Amino acid sequence: MTDDPPRKIIHIDMDCFYAAIEVRDHPELRGKPIAVGGSSGRGVLTTANYEARKFGCRSAMPAFKALRQCPQLIIMPVRFDAYRAESQKIREVFARFTGLIEPLSLDEAYLDVSHWRSSGASVAEEIRAEICEATDLTASAGIATNKLLAKIASDWNKPDGQFEVTSDGVEGFMADLSVRKLWGVGAKTAERLSKAGIETCGDVQKHALTELHRRFGRFGIELYHLSRGQDDRPVQPSRERKSVSNERTYSEDITCFEESVPKLQSLWEELCEDLEKHKDRQIKSAFVKLKFNDFRHTTVERQTAVPAWELYEALLEEGWQRSDARHVRLLGAGVRFQSQEGLSEIEQLTFFEEN
283-321 b/e (C-beta count within 10 Å ≥ 16 → b): bbbbbbbbbbeeeeeeebeeebeebeeebbbebbeebbe
Distance of CA 35 to the CA centre of its chain: 17
d(CA 230, CA 6): 12
CA atoms of 65 and 328, how far apart (whole Å): 22
Q: Is residue 327 helix, strand or coil? A: coil
- Establish whether 108 is a catalytic residue: yes
Let me know if 30 is exposed, middle or buried by CB neighbors in 10 A (0-12, 13-18, 19+).
Answer: exposed
Helix, strand and coil percent figures for the chain, each rounded to 5: 40, 25, 35
Cα–Cα distance between 182 and 231 in angstroms, integer? 11
Catalytic position from the list 22, 102, 108, 164: 108
Q: Which residues are catalytic?
A: 108
